[in-house]
Structure formats: structure tokens, C-alpha cells
Amino acid sequence: MQDDVQPVRSGRPRHASIIDVATLAGVSPATVSRSLRGHHNVSPATRQRVLEAAEELSYSASPQASGLASGRTRTIGLVVPFVTRWFFANAVAGAYQVLADAGYDVLLYHLGSAATRDRFFERMPLTRRVDAVVTLALPLDEEHTLALRALDMPLVTLGAQIPGVSSVRIDDAAAVRLAVYHLVHQGHEDIAMISGDQDDLGFGFLSSQDRCEGFRQAMASAGLRAREELMVSGEYGIEGGARAMTALMAGPTLPTAVFAEYDELAIGALRTLRRASIPVPGRVSVVGMDDHEMASVVDLTTVAQPVLEQGGTAARLLLEVLDRGETEVVDVVVPTRLVVRGTTAAPHPN
């Protein structure tokens, strides 16, 4: 009589599969998948049975296997003009954290110039690589928008609006009004604006246009004129702000206050003024926008926007579509706030 000998398998122990969990719970593998993802059309009793079976078998879902079963990649595409600039880096970080916590990978596309953007939309490398897309502050023409819509997948924009697409943004014009009204209430009338160069790599960011228009509106509502000679632009960053401030100082009269479209420009303006021994805020007050991490270091008054929160909100909107099938188009406007520090005060009497 031959002994009943069971074969001994070498290597790592076999991990429980989704089929094992389904068999133990008495449901289909699809129901296991829906239960573990918290899908709304699974009854509480069934979900509990699946969870208990998964725990008993020490089952851990493989993101790759889950993607194959559902037709999803479990990957989200983030399309960004620049990954090195403060705003975009923080927005990406906010979105990434929410997506990673939900079990999604992130595929990041850095464009870098308008020409690269156009080539990107011609090739559209997102196809079959991602389940959904977030675009960050991208000015898009009709052709770009049509290319995104042709993907037929959830899409959210951050910092810009596309008709029929959910968006997360601030009210740029309203944010500028906070800064201008702060200066007006202190008694300033000769107020200059430093904006980002609209020809910077050809993007033509809509937020910059909105902020320039908001500046004009705020000045007009205060009974003041936005003088064109006091509206100058500089390329991105501290050096651009420094050169723009030099241009203002070369004019016939020095303004008593300067609003800079974003904090890096304001920090550059501060450097130029201080190197010229012009007291800030004694002779010139300076206000920025964003609340960059360096703003508190240089004691800069600024209009703060919650960039991490915007990235996280955009990611959550996508997850609502992917996990719960939400289809309502929403426009989430995140509030801004004035942070008063040491670079603003009443104008110095002549």
C-alpha cells in the first residue's frame, strides 16, 4: 500500500487570491472587489462578510491585479507647465497625497514651454496609461480641449476653467482687490503693479491676465487711476522682480506702494529697494501674493492662497467620479486671505 504523500512546494508561501476570498465569503470576485473599494451598491452585510473573509485569509489586493480586473490602471495623470515652480510643486504635492492615500499612482507630465504643450496634445500620451487627468493652470485652446475630451475619462482643472469640466481655483481678481484695498486704506494712491511677463515661454497664463484686470478694477473702484507707466512686468522669479523694480525706480516718480502678482516678484522688488537704501515700508510699501514659504522670512505682506488644499481638492473631485460615478460639473472657488506683515504701512509724509 502506497503512502498518501502530499507534494511539498518550495519557495514563498502562496498568498490568498481574490477568488479565495470570494469562495470563503460566498460571493463573486467582482463583489469582493466592489466591497473592498467601498462601492455604494454593496450591502453592509455583504461587505462585512467580505472584510471578515479577507482578514481571515490575510488578503491584500494587488493594485495591478485590481486594474486588470476592472480595466483601470489605478494611475492618475497630472499635466503641469512647470514642476520646479513653487505653486505647481505644492499643488502636485497636495494632489499626490490624496491620490496615494486612495491607492492610486501618479504619472506626472512636465511641459516646460508652450511648444512642448502643443506637441504633448498632438501625441496625447495619456491614452491607456491613466484613468483620469488633472491639468494645472494650463491655458488651453479649443484644439487642446478637444484632445482632452476625446480621452473620454474624468478630467479636473486646477487654476483654470474649461467649459463643462470641474475646476478648482481662486478668484484671482478678488485676491488682487484684497491687496489693493489694503494699500488704499493705508492712504496710498500712487500704487504700481509688477506682473509676470506674458511672453514667458509662451504660455500666457490666464491668472496673470485676471490679476492685471483685478488691479485696474480695484484702483478704479477706489477712485484712482491705474497708470500704465506704473504697470511693469518681469520674467518669472526673484531676478525678474528685481529688474522690474529697477524699471519703476527709473521713472519720473517713485510709487509709494507696489503690488506684485506673486511673491517671488515681490521678494525681488524688496531686494532692489533695500540695496538702493529705500526704506520699506517707510518710503515704499510692498505686497505680494501666494504666501510663499519665503514670505514670512522676508516679513512680506501678502495675499495667501491654500495651494496644497487646491491640489487635494482637485484629486478628491476625480476620486468622486472614479469611485462613485459623480458626474455633476462643479467650480470650487477656494478663499484667499490677506496676511499683513512688515512691508506695508501708511505712506511717508513728504
Q: How confident is the model at residue 190 (pLDDT cuts 50, 70, 90)?
A: very high
Tell me the pLDDT of the chain averaged across its residues: 87
Exposed/middle/buried for residue 101 (C-beta within 10 Å: 0-12, 13-18, 19+): exposed
Instruction: Reduce the secondary structure of 41-72 to three states and give it as a string.
Output: CCCHHHHHHHHHHHHHCCCCCCHHHHHHHHCC
Cα R_g (the chain), whole angstroms: 27
* More confident call, 233 vs 201: 233
Start-to-end Cα distance in the chain: 115
Residue showing cell 481638492: 313
pLDDT value for 60: 65
Binning pLDDT at 50, 70 and 90, where does residue 40 land? low
Q: How confident is the model at residue 276, as a pLDDT?
A: 97
Of 274 and 128, the structure prediction assigns the larger pLDDT to 274
What DSSP state is assigned to residue 200?
G
Residue 115 has pLDDT above 80, yes or no: yes
Q: What is the pLDDT of residue 65?
A: 46
Q: What is the pTM of this model?
A: 0.77
Judged against a pLDDT cut of 60, whether residue 70 lies above it is answered with no
Task: Give the per-residue pLDDT at 34.
Answer: 73
pLDDT confidence of residue 326: 72
DSSP secondary structure code for residue 256 in this structure: S
Q: Name the percent of the chain lying above pLDDT 90.
A: 57
- What's the pLDDT at 161? 86
Task: Note the pLDDT of residue 12.
Answer: 42
User: What's the rounded mean pLDDT across residues 139-154?
Assistant: 80
Confidence of residue 61 (pLDDT cuts 50, 70, 90): low
The pLDDT value recorded for residue 37 is 67
Where does the pLDDT of residue 64 fall: very low under 50, low under 70, confident under 90, or very high at 90 and above? very low
Angle at 152 between CA 146 and CA 158, to 5 degrees: 70
Higher model confidence: residue 21 or residue 337?
337
pLDDT band at residue 109, thresholds of 50, 70 and 90?
A: very high
Across 10-14, 137-141, 157-161, 308-312, least confident range? 10-14
Q: What confidence category does residue 71 fall into, taking pLDDT thresholds of 50, 70 and 90? A: low
Q: What is the mean pLDDT of residues 157-168?
A: 90
Sheet strands side by side (includes 105-110):
105-110, 75-80, 132-136, 155-158, 166-169, 331-333
Quick one: cell of 16? 490568498
User: How does residue 17 score in pLDDT terms, banded at 50, 70 and 90?
Assistant: confident
Assign 350 to helix, strand or coil.
Answer: coil
Closest CA relative to residue 50, chosen from 17, 15, 22, 70: 22
Query: Model confidence at 93, in pLDDT bands (50, 70, 90)?
Result: very high
pLDDT for 3 beyond 50: no
Q: Which domains does the chain have, with CATH numbers?
A: 18-70 (1.10.260.40), 75-170+307-333 (3.40.50.2300), 172-305 (3.40.50.2300)
pLDDT of residue 9: 36
- Pick from 175, 177, 126, 182: nearest CA to 155: 126
Burial class (CB in 10 A: 0-12, 13-18, 19+), 230: buried
